[in-house]
Structure 1
Amino acid sequence: MRYSWLLLMPLLAACNSNPSAENREPGFGAADQESPADTSAALPAPDTASTKAVSAVSDTLRTVRQKHNFSNPKGPADSFKLVFRGPSILEGTGEFTITDPSGQVIFREMLTEPDLEASLVYEMKNPTATRAERETFVLRRIDRFFVPSQFHTPAIAPEADFPADLVNLERATWEDLQHRSDAIGFDYLKGKEDRQRIAWSPLTKQVVRVQ
């Protein structure tokens, strides 16, 4: 009897012992219950080196540039630029800027599509213009915005009268420019008939409208 009991002891010990981690059934041990955070912590950081940047000027439809003396008649030329942006030619807006040789923007004006299209009425042969005709006209206005004939020296003719209707123009500024034979004026049409002339004023150190 004692001999039989001795034979059963190893079997009972084997039944009562815990299984090792290597022999556990998957899904039941603590090691099989790792959280998603623990798993992702070992992942490398995403590679963003080749990510394409979002273009801030993706809506640019037309850009024209011209170099011309303006703020300094005898020095390096200024940069004239007109950038037309929008969902379409007939729904866009133009940004007209002048940048001096040092990189400083000395003039900025926004031109709406109607500002550029309005004078089409003087060329129309029919009561209405087609969309294609309107688009062609606006693009031509943009492309020809800085033609050489738009620049004038002197900026103000010696015999010109002071334009009293320009409320933001000081007489002293205008008279100073009138006495500068090398001052350069730039003309551009806004709307149907609003022809404007701007010039750099050495007296006030800014661009002013003189006509």
Structure 2
Amino acid sequence: MRFAWLLLLPLLAACNSTPSADGTGAAADVSEQGASADTAALPAPDTSATKAVSAGHDTLRVVRQKHNFSNPKGPADLFKLVFRGPSFLEGTGEFTITNPAGQVIFREVLTEPDLEAALVYEMNSPTASHNEREAFVRRRIDRFFAPSQFHTPAIAPDAEFPVDLVNLERATWDDLQHRPDAIGFDYLKGKEDRQRIAWSGLTKQVVRVQ
């Protein structure tokens, strides 16, 4: 009997242990504190990459070029073309110009047909292969900001006012035409729609002059 009583003593001690404030045993409370400490030490999960993944908006090509534009004598502006999409034959390009202060002063979306249409002038057969079409679009993107696309002055002294540009004010045109250091940038949309833009010191915005 005495031996059996000795065996029961550890069990009685366990039953009489003091509970914690939330009604759990002390051993359980220590375990929970340890788990909390381990969790707090882990960095928050980074979900930004997950949100950015999209099969329809993957960035396929980015080209950048710094060139004087809004200020012919000051720091250069950043010209950038970002092409996104599931493929080069299904995407769109975002063309932006950002001034040295970080302000986007021009933005235009170029569709894939805008970039591919001029391929007809290089074709030796009635149709082009998938690879030929993709290669042409990539080449158009890579050469979009070629040095030959920038012109000074933006408007030649003997150029005539383009009456077909309905959003161009005559005063803006005249002011730019009298600025020999104004810089124009040319780019092609579609097969033949060659456009020229320039920064107007009069209106403080980018205007199309051709």
Query: Structure 2 CA distance, aligned partners of 1:209 and 1:21?
Result: 90
Distance 1:102 1:43, change over 3 A: closer
Cα deviation code 1:42-85 (max 9, x no counterpart): 87347235746416377111111111110111111111111111
Distance 1:43 1:180, change over 3 A: closer
**Which deviates the most, 52-61 or 173-182?**
52-61
Query: Structure 2 CA distance, aligned partners of 1:78 and 1:87?
Result: 30
Give the aligned partner of residue 193 of structure 2: 194
Query: Structure 2 CA distance, aligned partners of 1:163 and 1:44?
Result: 68
Query: Structure 2 CA distance, aligned partners of 1:75 and 1:134?
Result: 39
Shift of 1:126: 1.0
Distance 1:134 1:44, change over 3 A: same
Query: Structure 1 CA distance, aligned partners of 2:75 and 2:137?
Result: 31
One-letter amino acid of the counterpart of residue 80, structure 2: K
Give the aligned partner of residue 3 of structure 2: none
Give the aligned partner of residue 54 of structure 1: 49
Find the residue that maps to 1:181 and give its secondary structure.
coil
Give the aligned partner of residue 137 of structure 1: 136
Give the aligned partner of residue 87 of structure 1: 86
TM-score of the pair, normalised by structure 2: 0.79
Query: Structure 2 CA distance, aligned partners of 1:104 and 1:73?
Result: 17
Give the aligned partner of residue 127 of structure 2: 128
Query: Structure 1 CA distance, aligned partners of 2:39 and 2:74?
Result: 56
Query: Structure 2 CA distance, aligned partners of 1:57 and 1:157?
Result: 47
Unmatched runs of 5 consecutive residues or more in structure 1: 1-18, 24-29
Give the aligned partner of residue 145 of structure 2: 146
Find the residue that maps to 2:101 and give its secondary structure.
coil
Unmatched runs of 5 consecutive residues or more in structure 2: 1-10, 16-23
The alignment covers a number of residue pairs equal to 193
One-letter amino acid of the counterpart of residue 155, structure 1: A
**Which deviates the most, 157-166 or 56-65?**
56-65
Query: Structure 2 CA distance, aligned partners of 1:48 and 1:60?
Result: 28
Instruction: Write out the 4+ residue segments of structure 1 that deviate beyond 6 Å after TM superposition.
Output: 38-43
Give the aligned partner of residue 102 of structure 1: 101
One-letter amino acid of the counterpart of residue 89, structure 1: F
One-letter amino acid of the counterpart of residue 42, structure 2: D
Query: Structure 2 CA distance, aligned partners of 1:57 and 1:159?
Result: 51
Map 1:164-203 to 2 at 5 A.
164-203=163-202
